[in-house]
């Protein structure tokens, strides 16, 4: 599907196909809606990503986070991998403590980290180049209204939810079609719940649990 075809679907769902002005509003609403989704507590599986090409620099305490970093995946850890492919688990601390304790200390193999202001702080300062293994949720770029294949992860993996949600916003804010907006909001909520349930099911597939009795 092309980005332009995605917006065709949104306008048809809003019952306003061919409305050029509303189409421009849809593009802007897409940007704001995706921002609101990525600020919410729910982050689905398709936003998960493992860092690539992220390394430390000798005697430098901080490393810039990937530009698409949103937040770390829950229950994951940061590992530093040395030249011998040994994994060094990092314990999360507090960046101000790391600055205070390790700023003047000798470099070594880091044992702790914190994330602050777009950087990963390590303590002690790395004594060489380590590959950083970080699992995180990635920020996405909203789809433009063009002839390029859809690449936005929300649109690729939750097309029905995105189309319905954006159409609801258009009807609510721009066309003032209260009845259509109300119907689409109900549908959007149902689709979001389905997405959440599917995401939870993926987390627990093939998992064995030990229950204390």
Model confidence band, residue 108 (pLDDT cutoffs 50, 70, 90): very high
What is the pTM assigned to this prediction? Answer: 0.88
What is the domain extent for residue 30?
A: 3-45+141-202
Asked whether residue 211 is assigned to any structural domain, the reply reads no
Domain count, the chain: 2
pLDDT in tens, 55-76: 999 999 999 999 999 999 999 9
Model confidence band, residue 115 (pLDDT cutoffs 50, 70, 90): very high
> Residue 213: its pLDDT value, please?
43
Based on the fold, state whether residues 41 and 145 are members of the same structural domain: yes
Based on the fold, state whether residues 127 and 56 are members of the same structural domain: yes
pLDDT in tens, 125-144: 999 999 999 999 999 999 99
Asked whether residue 209 is assigned to any structural domain, the reply reads no
CA–CA gap between residue 95 and residue 168 (Å, rounded) = 43
> Residue 100: its pLDDT value, please?
83
Based on the fold, state whether residues 41 and 58 are members of the same structural domain: no
> Residue 101: its pLDDT value, please?
82
Based on the fold, state whether residues 33 and 61 are members of the same structural domain: no
Average pLDDT of the residues in 85-92: 96
Asked whether residue 207 is assigned to any structural domain, the reply reads no
Whether 190 has a pLDDT exceeding 70, the answer reads yes
- Mean of the per-residue pLDDT values for the chain? 93
Model confidence band, residue 102 (pLDDT cutoffs 50, 70, 90): confident
> Residue 209: its pLDDT value, please?
44
Whether 9 has a pLDDT exceeding 90, the answer reads yes
Asked whether residue 212 is assigned to any structural domain, the reply reads no
Model confidence band, residue 207 (pLDDT cutoffs 50, 70, 90): low
Model confidence band, residue 206 (pLDDT cutoffs 50, 70, 90): low
Whether 211 has a pLDDT exceeding 70, the answer reads no
Based on the fold, state whether residues 33 and 57 are members of the same structural domain: no
pLDDT in tens, 38-48: 999 999 999 99
Based on the fold, state whether residues 123 and 56 are members of the same structural domain: yes
pLDDT in tens, 12-47: 999 999 999 999 999 999 999 999 999 999 999 999
């Amino acid at each position: 599907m092309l980005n332009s075809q995605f917006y065709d679907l949104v306008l048809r769902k809003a019952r306003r196909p061919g409305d050029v002005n509303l189409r421009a509003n849809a593009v802007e609403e897409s940007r704001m809606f995706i921002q609101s989704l990525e600020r919410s507590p729910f982050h689905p599986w398709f936003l998960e990503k493992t860092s690539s090409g992220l390394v430390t620099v000798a005697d430098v305490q901080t490393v810039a986070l990937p530009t698409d970093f949103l937040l770390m995946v829950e229950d994951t850890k940061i590992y530093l991998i040395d030249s011998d492919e040994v994994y060094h688990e990092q314990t999360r601390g507090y960046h101000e403590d790391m600055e205070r304790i390790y700023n003047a200390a000798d470099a070594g193999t880091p044992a702790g980290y914190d994330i602050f202001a777009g950087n990963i702080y390590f303590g002690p300062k790395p004594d060489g180049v380590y590959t950083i293994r970080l699992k995180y949720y990635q920020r996405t770029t909203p789809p433009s209204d063009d002839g390029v294949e859809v690449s936005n992860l929300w649109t690729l993996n939750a097309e029905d939810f995105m189309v319905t949600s954006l159409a609801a916003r258009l009807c609510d804010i721009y066309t003032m079609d209260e009845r259509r907006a109300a119907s689409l909001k109900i549908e959007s909520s149902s689709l979001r719940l389905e997405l959440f349930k599917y995401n939870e099911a993926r987390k627990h597939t093939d998992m064995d649990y030990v229950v204390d009795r």
